[in-house]
Amino acid sequence: MKVLLRNPRRELEMPGPMRVHALLDRLQLNRESVLVIRGDTLVTGDAALADHDEVEIRPVISGGAR
């Protein structure tokens, strides 16, 4: 599957099928810090991603004094 990461923007190829949690663990990402987007919606941690899926892993942490 195709995985788009942001900040900085980059693309990875990962083998599917795989659950979202497993994908985040593999990439050593904290699930509190990201959303996983497939198409125009979100997927939960237990969702299975297929080999032909394209997903975006979007960080949600923003910083700075506001």
Q: Which residues bind ligand SF4 (CB under 6 A)?
A: 63-66
Binding stretches for another protein (CB under 8 A): 6-7, 30-35, 37, 40-47, 58-66
Give which of ligand SF4, another protein, none residue 15 binds (C-beta under 5 to 8 Å, depending on kind).
Answer: none
Minimum distance of ligand SF4 from residue 62's CB (angstroms): 8
Distances from the Cα of 54 to the Cα of 12, 17, 44, 65, angstroms: 10, 12, 15, 34
Question: Among ligand SF4, another protein, none, what does residue 13 contact (CB within 5–8 Å per kind)?
Answer: none
